[in-house]
A and B are shown apart, each in its own frame.
Chain A
Amino acid sequence: MQDTHFRSGRECHLVLPAAFRASIPVLLGYTTLGLAFGLTLVAAGLPWWLSPVMAVFIFAGAAQFMAVGLLQSGAGLFEIALLTLLLNGRHAVYGLSLLGPFRSAGKWKPYLIFGLTDETYGLLTTVKAPAQIDETKFFAAVTALNQSYWVIGCTAGSLVGSALTLDTAGLDFALTALFIVLLVEQVRAVKQWGPYLAAASACVVALLVSPRNFLLVALAVATGVLALLRGKIEESAGAPRPDSGGGA
């Protein structure tokens, strides 16, 4: 036994309990939502194993829920890729505030980036590692625990769903509810009319032009309208430099 081995073993002993305590808020949320996801996936007629496979490799709640409808209707891979990109585009902001903390993460860095869900991001930016514990190991443990809750929930949901014949009609509303929750969070954060005007006009245009490709057309039009409104939006945002990160 080498000294370093012993040390990391002892540290592990401290890391997991601390990470578990930090991750408790996510435990309930991920197991419940994962359960709902697994049930929804099986109710849509998709094979049960798809649920754990998605939880292990994709690890993105909203995108997984969206994928159920897309896979059910046999959507093309390009459409799936584009919609995933747009839906998860919000994750592209998260890393900006973790560039520093992840700089010294070494071999854990790829996994820490992989695990940056809404909830993991929320935890990693608010919870501090206890003083005697290496921050990277703490972050990795929190991320791995969060993912394990998600995998457990998704697996249990699809197994329960395929074992029992439950009346799950209406469970797919969970996706609509999830989008509404994310929208409410955005309304609280972005107090501006511009983005919602862009969204509303894009929805009308997409309905008229191509209801069949509604999401693609609406998102493309909205991006254009938003870019056109940029001057007005940044002007009414008030701050001389909106990206200065003040946000008191």
Chain B
Amino acid sequence: MIVNPDDLSCKELVELVTDFFEDRLSPSVRARFEMHLSYCAWCRVYLAQMRETVQLAGRLSEETLPKGSKEELLRAFRDWKRERGGEP
């Protein structure tokens, strides 16, 4: 296969991944991006890894934090309620 001079290189593609995910590529660049992916298995791996990185980061929100502050917050909430009285 001969690379067309208009084709993106892998080096260019890796800089555009977030814009691709965010749908911020112009239609022509997006087309070149997708064209490149259609023949480059390595960039497909790279793209998958960027996606996996995002998904893994999302799992960090599952980490549990020590509680114990809730009582204190509820007390603050009751104070707030009392202070503002019958205000709507």
Bound pair: A and B?
A: no
B residues adjacent to A (C-beta < 8 A): none
A residues adjacent to B (C-beta < 8 A): none
